[in-house]
C-alpha cells in the first residue's frame, strides 16, 4: 500500500487566504476534523485530545498533571509545593497547540459550542501553568496568549446567542471578555498600551456591531407592534369602543414618540 498522499492533496487544494477545514467520517465510524495546511493535512478527533492519545491513561496531559497536583498537595500539604518542570511545560505546550488548531477549525466550521469548549480548556491550562510552572519564562510562554484565547472564547459563546437574537445575553458575554482582557493588561501593567491590543479592539468593535443590531431589532419589533396596534385602533373606532381606542392611542404614542 502506498503512503504517498499527493493525490489527496491535489484533490483538496490549500487556500492561502483562508482557513481550509472540513469534517469527515473516519474509518472508525467517528467524525474527524481535517485542517488543510500548506504541506499537508492535519486530522483531529472531535472529542478528547485532538490526536486521540491518552497520556498515562488520562484524557490529556493537563488532566494528568491536575490530578498529580491534587495528590501532591494532599500528601505534602505542609512541605514541598507542587511544581511543573520544563519537561512538563513542554508537554503541556505541545498539547495546547493541538487544541488551538482544533478550536480554530471549529470556529471556521461554525461549530461554536465546540470552539467555546476547547478555548475554555486552554484558558484553564493557562491558569494552571501560571500557578505551578517553574519560572516566569514558562509561565509567560502560556499566559501571553490569554487575550487571544479569551477573545475566541467570547466569540464562541456569544455567536450562537447573536444568531438567535438574544442580544442582551450576547452583550453580557462580550462585555465579560472585554473586561477579562483589560484585567490581563492591568495585571501586566500594559493598560497604557490597550489601544495596541488587537484582541481587545476586535471584541470592542464586535460589541458595537451587536449593540447596533440589538437597537435595529428593537426598532423593528416596535414598528411591528405599532402597526398591530393601529389595526386594533381602527377596529375599536369602527365598533365605537372609544375607551379602548383611547388606550390604544396612548400605547401608540409611547412607542412612536416622533
One DSSP character per residue, 112-141 reads HHHHHHHHHHHHHHHHHHHHHBSSHHHHHH
> Which range of residues forms the domain containing residue 255?
221-258
DSSP 24-63: EE-TTSSEEEEEEETTEEEEEESSSSTT---GGGSS-HHH
Structural domains in the chain (count): 2
CA angle 126, 20, 101 (to 5 degrees): 15
Beta bridge partners of 6: none
CA angle 107, 160, 17 (to 5 degrees): 30
Q: What is the pTM of this model?
A: 0.82
| Percentage of the chain exceeding pLDDT 70 | 93
Task: With CA atoms as reference, report the closest residue to 173 among 190, 156, 158.
Answer: 158
95 within some domain:
no
Q: What is the pLDDT of residue 121?
A: 98
**Residue 131: all three cell numbers together:** 500557578
253 within some domain:
yes
Residue 186 pLDDT > 50, yes or no?
Answer: yes
Do both 198 and 158 map to the same domain?
Answer: yes
Do both 254 and 226 map to the same domain?
Answer: yes
d(CA 91, CA 95): 6
DSSP 145-205: THHHHHHHHHHHHHHHHHHTT-HHHHHHHHHHHHHHHHHHHHHTT-GGGGGG-HHHHHHHH
CA dihedral 168→171→172→176, nearest 10 degrees, is 180
- In a 3-state reduction of DSSP, which class is residue 96? helix
Q: What is the pLDDT of residue 106?
A: 97
Q: What is the pLDDT of residue 222?
A: 65
Do both 199 and 225 map to the same domain?
Answer: no
Do both 204 and 227 map to the same domain?
Answer: no
**Residue 80: all three cell numbers together:** 514541598
Beta bridge partners of 43: 34
pLDDT tens profile 218-253:
666 666 676 666 777 677 777 677 788 788 788 777
- 258 band by pLDDT with thresholds 50, 70 and 90: very low
**Residue 104: all three cell numbers together:** 480554530
pLDDT tens profile 83-134:
999 999 999 999 999 999 999 999 999 999 999 999 999 999 999 999 999 9
154 within some domain:
yes
136 within some domain:
no
133 within some domain:
no
**Residue 106: all three cell numbers together:** 471549529
170 within some domain:
yes
Do both 150 and 206 map to the same domain?
Answer: yes
- In a 3-state reduction of DSSP, which class is residue 22? strand
166 within some domain:
yes
Contact 140, 129 (CB under 8 A): no
Contact 215, 189 (CB under 8 A): no
Q: Are strands 40-45 and 20-25 parallel, antiparallel or unpaired?
A: unpaired
Amino acid at each position: 500500500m502506498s503512503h504517498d498522499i499527493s493525490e489527496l492533496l491535489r484533490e483538496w487544494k490549500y487556500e492561502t487566504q483562508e482557513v481550509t477545514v472540513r469534517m469527515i467520517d473516519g474509518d472508525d465510524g467517528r467524525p474527524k476534523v481535517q485542517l488543510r495546511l500548506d504541506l499537508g493535512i492535519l486530522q483531529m478527533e472531535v472529542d478528547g485530545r485532538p490526536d486521540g492519545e491518552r497520556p498515562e491513561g488520562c484524557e490529556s496531559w493537563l488532566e494528568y498533571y491536575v490530578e498529580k497536583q491534587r495528590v501532591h498537595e494532599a500528601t505534602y500539604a505542609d512541605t514541598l509545593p507542587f511544581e511543573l518542570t520544563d519537561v512538563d511545560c513542554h508537554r503541556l505546550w505541545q498539547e495546547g497547540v493541538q487544541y488551538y488548531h482544533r478550536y480554530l477549525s471549529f470556529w471556521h466550521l461554525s461549530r461554536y459550542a465546540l470552539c467555546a469548549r476547547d478555548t475554555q480548556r486552554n484558558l484553564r491550562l493557562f491558569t494552571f501553568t501560571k500557578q505551578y510552572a517553574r519560572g516566569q519564562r514558562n509561565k509567560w510562554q502560556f499566559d501571553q496568549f490569554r487575550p487571544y484565547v479569551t477573545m475566541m472564547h467570547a466569540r464562541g459563546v456569544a455567536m450562537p446567542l447573536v444568531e438567535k437574537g438574544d442580544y442582551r445575553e450576547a452583550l453580557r458575554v462580550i462585555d465579560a471578555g472585554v473586561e477579562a482582557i483589560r484585567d490581563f493588561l492591568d495585571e501586566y501593567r500594559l493598560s497604557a498600551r490597550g489601544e495596541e491590543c488587537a484582541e481587545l479592539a476586535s471584541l470592542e468593535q464586535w460589541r458595537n456591531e451587536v449593540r447596533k443590531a440589538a437597537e435595529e431589532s428593537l426598532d423593528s419589533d416596535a414598528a411591528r407592534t405599532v402597526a398591530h396596534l393601529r389595526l386594533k385602533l381602527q377596529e375599536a373606532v369602527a365598533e365605537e369602543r372609544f375607551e379602548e381606542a383611547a388606550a390604544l392611542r396612548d400605547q401608540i404614542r409611547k412607542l412612536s414618540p416622533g
